[in-house]
Each structure stands twice: as C-alpha cells, then as structure tokens.
Amino acid sequence: MTTPDSPQSPDRPAAASRAVPPPVPERRRRTIAVSGSASGIGAAVRERFERSGLKVVGVDRREAEVIADLSTPDGRREAVTKTTELAGGHLDGVVACAGLGPHVRPFEAIPRVNYFGALAYLDGLLPALAGGEAPAAVAISSNGATLTPANQAFVDLLLTDDEEGSCAMAATLDGATVYGMSKLAMTIGLRRRTGTWAAEGIRLNAVAPGPVDTPLLAASLADKTLGPLVEALPVPVGRRATPGEIAGAVGFLLDPVNGFIHGSLLFVDGGSDALLRPDRV
C-alpha cells in the first residue's frame, strides 16, 4: 500500500520525486546566558549545555565571553548589553549563578552581587528572553535563605531596592545573615515577578542548593567563624553535592518539557531544609 508521501505514490509525479528538496532553513541554535560561568556551579551549567549542543554566553569577572562586574550598575548594564549582542537579540534561557559566599568581606559586596546583581541581570535580559523559544530563567538561591535565622528588617530593605541603604546595613551584620537574607530577598523578588514574567511567556524558577563542592564552599570552610557552622549543618544524604548535580536541576527547570514549572524554589540540598524545617512547606 502506498501513501501520498511514499516514493511509489501514484499521486506524485516522477520528476518531483527526483527533485532536490528545498534546503531546510538553518535553525538558530538554542542560546543560554549564564552568569558566574567561570567557576563552580556556573562552569558545570556551561559544560552541561555545551555538551548538549547549546550555545552559551557566559558572564564573569574573568574567562567568559562577557567580562563584567555584576556588583556595580555600570557592570550590570555592560553584562546585559554585551550578552544580548552576542546572543543576536534572542535568548532561550538565562541562569543567574554569579554569587559571593558569606565569607566575602566587606559584607556589603554580598548583596551587591547576590541580590542587586542577580535581579538586574535577569530583568535586563527579559526582552531578549521574550524573543526566545520556550524561554525560561533560573536563579541560584541557597538553602541558607530558609535555614538562616531571619533578619526581616534587612530583607525588607533589600526588597525596597535601596542599594546603598541595604549595603550600609549589611556592614553592621554577620556574613551568614547577609548571605542568607540576600538569597531570601532575591528569591522573594523572583516570586514577585511570577505574574509579569508569565505575561511575557517566560518561566522563572530558582534552585536552592545545600553545600556544593566549589571554590566558594572551600573558602567558607576555611573561614574561622563560618567553617564550623557549615560543617555542623546536617545533610541527610551524608555528603556534599557536586556542581554537576546542581547543573542537572538547572537543566531540568530550563527544559521546555517542564513548561508548567513556574515560580518554584527547588531544594537540591540533600534533605537539609526538610530535616530542619519539616513542617514549613
């Protein structure tokens, strides 16, 4: 039996079956922007996507397509402009991974990168994402956002987007609080964008890792005050994550097949958050 598409179809003229089919238009390669791509989790994300044939536009202070400092307004603008240019105006995914650990001094540098830098990078790339295919973004939060004793005044100040005011307050706090609350405010900032981003057709989610073997964690462990706190954190699965395990969660959240996941915070922390806060969902 023949079908209209089979070579033997009586409906198909012989000349047409020999004709060279018109060239398939070259599809734009799926393009993902990754901040913090030079090290740790960001580098693992880059490697994972490049292995799958995707184009990655990395942003970092070193070893990236775009060298920019996300701690300053000028650096954030440069990161967005150059990333958009290199992506040809269209992005299918953005991963906001660049971040500083709780050991970094002065502490005011932490919210500049982890809150203001992350959100400015995401917001700045929204127009390019809006022109992408099944676009989605993921930010790297932390289980420090939920496991650090809350400082609501600092979170509230961050959420007013008063950069100088919140950085002045950060200078009066300890590194763990500044780090945890910057990640909490950043995650709340994402959740507050759920409606506006969906209206643009873009999904937005976050991953909350526990301890991951990266240079950031090594530096925190080497800190006299923070090291014992990090060591004392119970991790039910009994080990730290590899950067590739966090990249796996990022890949899952960006995958168009998971198009109904929007506004989520995915804990990839070996069970610490559930162990320590079992009744808080």
Annotated catalytic residue 121: no
The residue among 101 and 135 lying less far from ligand NAD, judged by its C-beta, is 101
Residue with tokens 């320590």: 276
* Shortest distance, position 21 Cβ to ligand NAD, whole Å: 46
Distance between CA 20 and CA 6 in Å, rounded? Answer: 16
Reduce the DSSP state of residue 173 to 3 states and report it.
Answer: coil
Reduce the DSSP state of residue 159 to 3 states and report it.
Answer: helix
Name the strand (E) or helix (H) holding 44: helix 40-51
* Shortest distance, position 234 Cβ to ligand NAD, whole Å: 15
Instruction: Write down the catalytic residue from 121, 179, 197, 267.
Output: 179
The residue among 140 and 226 lying less far from ligand NAD, judged by its C-beta, is 140
The residue among 12 and 82 lying less far from ligand NAD, judged by its C-beta, is 82
Q: Which residues bind ligand NAD (CB under 6 A)?
A: 36, 38-42, 60-61, 69-71, 97-100, 113, 117, 140, 142, 209, 211-212, 214-217
* Shortest distance, position 229 Cβ to ligand NAD, whole Å: 13
Reduce the DSSP state of residue 72 to 3 states and report it.
Answer: coil
List the helix and strand counts (H, then E) for the chain.
Answer: 14, 7
The residue among 123 and 133 lying less far from ligand NAD, judged by its C-beta, is 123
* Shortest distance, position 178 Cβ to ligand NAD, whole Å: 12
- The 8 Å CB, 24+ separation contacts for 195-201 are 197/126, 197/137, 197/262, 198/262, 200/126, 200/129, 200/130, 201/130, 201/135
What residues are labeled active site? 179
